[in-house]
């Protein structure tokens, strides 16, 4: 019987015939924690009596969620992680380097890998044809120590997307559309496998955005076959030799096949307080926004700022709307400066924040006031997510975010370009 | 046999509602963090929950971030088990890893404040208040092995490896 991507990769990494529904104990290629989940992982590592990390070169501690640290407690957590790195030789990604998932994409994940992180958006690396999934601190502590973890091999939903996006429509709109369609628990415990000519033509950056949000439908992984686009991206990162072609078998068994015509998708927005609460941007023109936040592991990449700068060039943010920009990594910031995007955004009235999670998770920077509304390019709009349970978060693409920053209300980008 | 009162919650109780990001700085101080457990879903919960009580929710409990602090502080608050129609997968796995039983059952029939008796081994929930008896789906075998040892750390300490 043919295999899906997840069955193929887990078979290879477990040395067994991994079939949906079974258990696979797989070798872990990349394991990481961040500053919110890392301190607990370190304590569990010690508690379990481990002394050594199996693969320190590909085990990483990221200081990204509270970076730079806003208070004493989190500064002490950062110290704990720095010390753990010194003791064990694992990699440390310091304050200002960027969001874990972006750096994993830039420097660590390769096709066929098993990537596990103590962060739910670890699924992002699925864009490389990796089995990448989020777990808790204890699971990652054990995975780092033993160099392996256990999986229930998930059943797969094949998402087939064909056709061309309309002007003003981006991969973010596609994934919001899909989540709106199947629901926030529509793919719980499942793998999503993306295919079709829209996906074949899509950049790695677009695939990363989509894989990133697989977890918002409850999925364990969101996978793409690797192809020339994957290879080119790896070559640009100086990691071309890690490329392997991986595709599902033609007779792979899928639990469900969902077909989407990309040409019918319009700029889409998730309304508070769940990601599956979607509507079209053009229906929400009455919603005034006090803050636009552009960044995160979903849409904080160079192409995202290129789109935003294209829309905001020569324009100004609305007087009542703050515009916060957080590049996902130091490299993204550096490239965006070189390309002139940062200057354009500054001229439009933006505030540039250090690379990292910034305002995404309510720890520091950009916390909303009571009753305020934010339009964010992130992946989650749960109540309280950005630090204030009495505030409202809408999610959209960088194009919709840029257009809305100009008008001060939720705006379909086709209105302004 | 576990005995306690039901505290009802709706669907889509995210880890942001359980362990809000604004208390991020308390993650290395779990007893303090536990004082805010489920605060954004029910601000009263932490002050009224008693040891042995149950969290009883609708579907997709624990969606969102991978923060293991969420099941840990539910357990620290004294909650004996979480009952829901369905769970988000990372939360489910984390709960098992920290030794918090998570039971999938039809929670519609349980009322706020109902007195429950849960027999983990037999897979039966008795609602003493309305006299109804419910069954819950079996916890997958691999996870039961971890739960039986009290969580993943004690499991690994005993077995040294995954023997699932
Ligand atoms: S950017 Fe947001 S979603 Fe991504 S890892 Fe950071 S906090 Fe999580």
Cβ distance B82 to B40 under 8 Å?
A: no
A388 C-beta closer than 6 A to ligand 1: no
Q: Which of A365, A74, A80, A357 is nearest to B26 (CA)?
A: A74
Q: How many residues does chain B have?
A: 164
CA of A310 to the centre of ligand 1 (A): 25
Q: Is the dihedral of CA A208, A74, A33, A23 positive or negative?
A: negative
Chain A touched by B129 (CB under 8 Å) = no
| Interface predicted TM-score (ipTM) of this complex, two decimals | 0.96
Over residues A132-139, the mean pLDDT reads: 98
Q: Is the pLDDT of residue A100 over 90?
A: yes
Q: Is the pLDDT of residue B164 over 90?
A: no
A381 C-beta closer than 6 A to ligand 1: no
Residue A135 C-alpha, separation from nearest chain B C-alpha, in angstroms: 6
CA of B129 to the centre of ligand 1 (A): 43
Q: What is the pLDDT of residues A149-207, one digit of tens each?
A: 999 999 999 999 999 999 999 999 999 999 999 999 999 999 999 999 999 999 999 99
> How many pairs of residues across A and B have Cβ atoms under 8 Å apart?
149
Cβ distance A114 to A29 under 8 Å?
A: yes
Q: Are B65 and A120 a contacting pair at CB < 8 A?
A: yes
CA A402 to chain centre: 20
Structural domains of chain A, ranges and CATH numbers in brackets: 5-261 (3.30.499.10), 268-415 (3.30.499.10)
CA A61 to chain centre: 17
A302 C-beta closer than 6 A to ligand 1: no
Q: By CA distance, what is B142's nearest residue in A?
A: A23
Average pLDDT, chain A: 98
User: Of the candidates B12, B90, B140, which has its C-beta nearest A135's C-beta?
Assistant: B90
Over residues A274-290, the mean pLDDT reads: 98
Q: Is the pLDDT of residue A131 over 90?
A: yes
Q: Which of B141, B140, B137, B62 is nearest to B95 (CA)?
A: B62
Ligand 1 atom at minimum distance from A360 CA: 2
Q: What DSSP designation does B90 have?
A: H
Residues B45 and A117: their CA atoms lie apart, in Å, by 31
CA of A296 to the centre of ligand 1 (A): 6
Average pLDDT, chain B: 96
Q: Are A138 and B88 a contacting pair at CB < 8 A?
A: no
Q: Are A380 and B156 a contacting pair at CB < 8 A?
A: no
Q: What is the pLDDT of residues B83-94, one digit of tens each?
A: 999 999 999 999
- What is the predicted pLDDT for the residue at A1? 84
Residues A323 and B117: their CA atoms lie apart, in Å, by 53
Q: What is the pLDDT of residues B30-39, one digit of tens each?
A: 999 999 999 9
Using pLDDT thresholds of 50, 70 and 90, give the confidence band for residue A379. Answer: very high
Cβ distance A290 to A372 under 8 Å?
A: yes
Residues A410 and A404: their CA atoms lie apart, in Å, by 5
Residues of B in contact with A18 (CB under 8 A): none
Chain B touched by A372 (CB under 8 Å) = no
Over residues A336-353, the mean pLDDT reads: 98
Residues B58 and B10: their CA atoms lie apart, in Å, by 5
Residue A73 C-alpha, separation from nearest chain B C-alpha, in angstroms: 6
- What is the predicted pLDDT for the residue at A417? 79
Q: Which of A356, A346, A345 is nearest to A300 (CA)?
A: A356
Cβ distance B130 to B138 under 8 Å?
A: no
Strands A191-195 and A322-326: unpaired
A118 C-beta closer than 6 A to ligand 1: no
Q: Are B90 and A388 a contacting pair at CB < 8 A?
A: no
Q: What is the pLDDT of residues A231-254, one digit of tens each?
A: 999 999 999 999 999 999 999 999
Helices (H) and strands (E) in chain A, counts: 14, 18
Q: What is the pLDDT of residues B105-162, one digit of tens each?
A: 999 999 999 999 999 989 999 999 999 999 999 899 999 999 999 999 999 999 999 9
- Residue A376 β-bridge partners: A293, A395
- What is the predicted pLDDT for the residue at A237? 95
Q: Are A23 and B164 a contacting pair at CB < 8 A?
A: yes
Using pLDDT thresholds of 50, 70 and 90, give the confidence band for residue A51. Answer: very high
Strands A131-134 and A114-117: parallel
Residues A173 and A263: their CA atoms lie apart, in Å, by 11
Using pLDDT thresholds of 50, 70 and 90, give the confidence band for residue A85. Answer: very high
Over residues A260-271, the mean pLDDT reads: 98
H helices of chain B, in order, are 15-18, 30-34, 45-48, 69-76, 89-97, 141-148, 152-159
Residue B3 C-alpha, separation from nearest chain A C-alpha, in angstroms: 28
- Its pTM surpasses 0.80: yes
Over residues A92-120, the mean pLDDT reads: 98
Structural domains of chain B, ranges and CATH numbers in brackets: 2-159 (3.20.19.10)
Using pLDDT thresholds of 50, 70 and 90, give the confidence band for residue A141. Answer: very high
Ligand 1 atom at minimum distance from A120 CA: 8
SS3 state at A30: strand
Q: Which of A138, A164, A7, A34 is nearest to A94 (CA)?
A: A34
């Amino acid at each position: 019987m043919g295999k899906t991507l997840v069955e193929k990769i887990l078979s290879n990494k477990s040395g067994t015939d991994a079939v949906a529904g079974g258990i696979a104990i797989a070798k872990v290629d990349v394991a990481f924690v961040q500053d919110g989940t890392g301190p607990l992982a370190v304590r569990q590592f010690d508690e379990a009596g481990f002394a050594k990390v199996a693969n320190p070169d590909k085990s990483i501690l990221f200081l990204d969620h509270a970076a730079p640290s806003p208070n004493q407690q989190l500064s002490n957590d950062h110290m704990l992680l720095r010390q753990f790195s010194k003791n064990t030789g694992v990699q440390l990604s310091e304050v200002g380097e960027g969001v874990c998932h972006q750096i994993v994409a830039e420097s660590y994940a390769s096709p066929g890998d098993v990537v596990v992180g103590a962060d739910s958006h670890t699924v992002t690396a699925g864009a490389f044809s990796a089995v990448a999934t989020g777990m808790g601190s204890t699971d990652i502590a054990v995975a780092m120590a033993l160099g392996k973890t256990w999986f229930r091999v998930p059943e797969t939903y094949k998402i087939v997307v064909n056709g061309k996006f309309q002007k003003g429509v981006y991969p973010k709109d596609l994934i919001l559309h899909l989540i709106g369609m199947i629901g926030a628990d529509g793919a719980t415990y499942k793998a999503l496998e993306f295919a079709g000519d829209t996906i074949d033509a899509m950049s790695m950056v677009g695939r990363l955005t989509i894989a990133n949000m697989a977890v918002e439908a409850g999925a364990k992984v969101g996978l793409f076959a690797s192809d020339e686009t994957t290879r080119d991206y790896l070559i640009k990162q100086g990691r071309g030799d890690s490329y392997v072609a991986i595709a599902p078998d033609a007779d792979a068994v899928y639990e469900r096949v969902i077909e989407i015509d990309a040409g019918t998708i319009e700029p889409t927005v998730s309304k508070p307080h769940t990601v599956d609460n979607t509507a079209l941007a053009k229906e929400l023109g009455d919603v005034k926004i006090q803050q636009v936040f552009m960044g995160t592991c979903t849409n904080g990449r160079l192409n995202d700022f290129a789109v935003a700068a294209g829309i905001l060039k020569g324009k100004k943010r609305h007087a009542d709307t703050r515009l916060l920009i957080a590049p996902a990594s130091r490299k993204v910031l550096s490239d965006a400066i070189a390309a002139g995007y940062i200057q354009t955004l500054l001229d439009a009235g933006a505030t540039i924040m250090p690379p990292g999670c910034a305002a995404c998770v309510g720890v520091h920077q950009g916390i909303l006031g009571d009753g305020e509304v934010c339009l964010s390019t992130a992946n989650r709009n749960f109540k309280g997510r950005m630090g204030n349970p009495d505030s409202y978060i809408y999610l959209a693409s960088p194009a919709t975010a840029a257009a809305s920053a100009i008008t001060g209300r939720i705006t379909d980008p086709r209105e302004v370009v | 046999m576990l005995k306690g009162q039901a505290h009802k919650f709706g669907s889509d109780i995210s880890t942001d509602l359980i362990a809000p990001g604004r208390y991020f700085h308390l993650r290395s101080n779990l007893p303090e963090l536990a004082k805010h457990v489920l605060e954004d879903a029910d601000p009263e919960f932490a002050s009224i929950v008693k040891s042995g009580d149950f969290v009883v929710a609708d579907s997709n409990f624990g969606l969102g971030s991978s923060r293991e602090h969420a099941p840990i502080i539910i357990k620290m608050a004294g909650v004996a088990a979480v009952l829901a129609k369905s769970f988000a997968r990372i939360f489910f796995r984390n709960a098992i890893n920290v030794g918090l039983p998570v039971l999938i059952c039809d929670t519609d029939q349980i009322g706020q404040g109902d007195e429950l008796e849960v027999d983990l081994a037999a897979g039966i929930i008795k609602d003493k208040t309305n006299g109804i008896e419910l069954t819950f789906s079996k916890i997958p075998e691999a996870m039961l092995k971890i739960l039986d040892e009290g969580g993943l750390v004690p499991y690994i300490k005993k077995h040294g490896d995954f023997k699932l």
